[in-house]
């Protein structure tokens, strides 16, 4: 019997590998490989020169395991790419979602091999895969989100100083807790942070959040837990319930799809939440106070534009509050204007360098 289980496990692994292998081919076939404006890559004259830089380019997007449904940075990258497809002439796009971490290299190579001009890798977790594949395909340009790869000329990296966005979100949480700005808050002044994994793109948000919160509410308490998952919603919900049972009434999940479950739990328990990456108020309008955002869509759009106009450069670009690369979503209605005023002040202080936000998490 035990043997049978082993056989099952082994065949499961083999099949998973098989499926994901096929997945690359299949996914790209069914995905949106339409050229914009209907002029599909037929060999019509592209030397007309009337449209703005109408060079035909192919863009491939590889998501991490969070997938396009993460309501977060994978989704944002997709939004940026779709915007480029609609607004720039001659951009055709394709997406592959990674089912597991072992898919990263095959998925990236798949696009490079098929002559894509730019391959976008969403996420820090793809760093090694990008380094490997970019060296094998020097003619293809790569963009990696949330990581700083230097020294490879065909790799551009977009780094987000999300600690600044986290700081602003922390300021909001601190003010709300200290002054009990929202109804239903308890008197314990506890906020609960849920991280997906102990990695820099997650921890920068969290570090900023902790500092911002402590600045406004020095006696408040920040709980911090990691789920080790970016996709298990039910687990995220369970973590949130645990923090809520410890008195937390503002939950800040930085855990992709897993965090959606945490917001769901906060909503069910009638406590509050702060969204991440994109404005997540639509997930729970009565619970989400604000969201710490980062402009992955902008970074993707700008890079596609650069590739098309031939100005693509390798190296690291930093996005922060000063260039609106990170920020904070509009505050929930019903919060006093004073909160917004403080947020604006703090934002200016960060931009001017008066407030320095550390990226180290307090554990």
CA distance 13 to 29: 24
Q: In terms of CB distance, is 137 or 226 closer to other proteins?
A: 226
Q: In terms of CB distance, is 234 or 313 closer to other proteins?
A: 234
Give, in order, the Cα–Cα distances in Å from 196 to each of 90, 237, 282, 360.
37, 12, 21, 16
CA distance 320 to 13: 41
Region from 71-79, 155-163, 203-211, 346-354 binding other proteins, contact rule CB under 8 A? 71-79
36, 231, 317, 320: which one binds other proteins (CB under 8 A): 231
CA distance 323 to 328: 13
59, 283, 332, 343: which one binds other proteins (CB under 8 A): 283
By the rule CB under 8 A, 232 interacts with other proteins: yes
Owner of token pair 């970074």: 299
CA distance 229 to 232: 6
Q: Which of 99, 141, 144 is nearest to 116 (CA)?
A: 141
282, 313, 323, 362: which one binds other proteins (CB under 8 A): 282
237, 293, 308, 320: which one binds other proteins (CB under 8 A): 237
We find the least distance from the C-beta atom of residue 209 to other proteins, in angstroms, to be 17
198, 341, 344, 360: which one binds other proteins (CB under 8 A): 198
Q: Which two tokens stand for residue 110?
A: 């798949």
Helix, strand or coil, per DSSP, at residue 200: helix
Helices 200-216 and 162-179: crossing angle, nearest 10°?
30
By the rule CB under 8 A, 8 interacts with other proteins: yes
Residues 259-278 that bind other proteins (CB under 8 A): 260-261, 264, 268
Site residues for other proteins per CB under 8 A: 1-2, 4-5, 7-8, 11-12, 15, 19, 67-69, 71, 75, 78, 99, 198, 223, 225-226, 228-229, 231-235, 237-239, 241-242, 245, 257, 260-261, 264, 268, 282-284
């Amino acid at each position: 019997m035990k043997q049978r289980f082993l056989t099952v496990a082994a065949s499961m692994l083999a099949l998973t590998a098989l499926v994901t292998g096929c997945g690359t081919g299949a996914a790209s076939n069914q995905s949106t490989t339409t050229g914009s404006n209907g002029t599909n890559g037929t060999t019509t004259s592209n030397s007309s020169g009337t449209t703005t830089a109408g060079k035909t380019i192919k863009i491939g997007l590889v998501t991490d395991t969070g997938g396009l449904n993460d309501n977060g940075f994978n989704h944002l990258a997709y939004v940026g790419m779709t915007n480029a497809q609609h607004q720039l002439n001659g951009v055709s796009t394709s997406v592959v979602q990674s089912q597991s971490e072992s898919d990263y290299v095959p998925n990236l190579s798949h696009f490079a091999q098929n002559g894509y001009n730019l391959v976008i890798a969403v996420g820090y977790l793809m760093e090694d895969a990008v380094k490997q594949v970019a060296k094998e395909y020097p003619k293809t340009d790569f963009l990696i989100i949330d990581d700083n790869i230097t020294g490879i000329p065909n790799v551009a990296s977009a780094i987000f100083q999300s600690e600044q966005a986290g700081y602003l979100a922390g300021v909001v949480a601190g003010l709300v807790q200290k002054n009990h700005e929202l109804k239903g808050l308890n008197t314990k002044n506890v906020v609960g942070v849920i991280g997906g994994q102990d990695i820099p793109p997650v921890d920068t948000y969290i570090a900023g959040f902790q500092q911002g919160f402590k600045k406004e509410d020095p006696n408040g308490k920040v709980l911090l837990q990691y789920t080790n998952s970016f996709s298990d919603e039910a687990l995220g919900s369970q973590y949130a319930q645990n923090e809520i049972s410890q008195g937390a009434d503002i939950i800040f999940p930085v855990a992709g799809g897993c965090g959606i479950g945490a917001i769901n739990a906060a909503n069910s328990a009638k406590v509050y939440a702060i969204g991440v990456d994109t404005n997540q108020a639509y997930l729970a309008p009565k619970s989400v106070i604000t969201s710490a955002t980062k402009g992955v869509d902008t970074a993707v759009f700008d890079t596609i534009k650069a590739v098309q106009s031939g100005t693509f450069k390798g190296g690291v670009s930093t996005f922060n509050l000063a260039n609106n690369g990170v920020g904070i979503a509009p505050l929930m209605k019903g919060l006093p204007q004073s909160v917004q005023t403080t947020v604006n002040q703090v934002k200016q202080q960060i931009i001017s360098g008066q407030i320095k936000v550390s990226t180290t998490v307090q554990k």
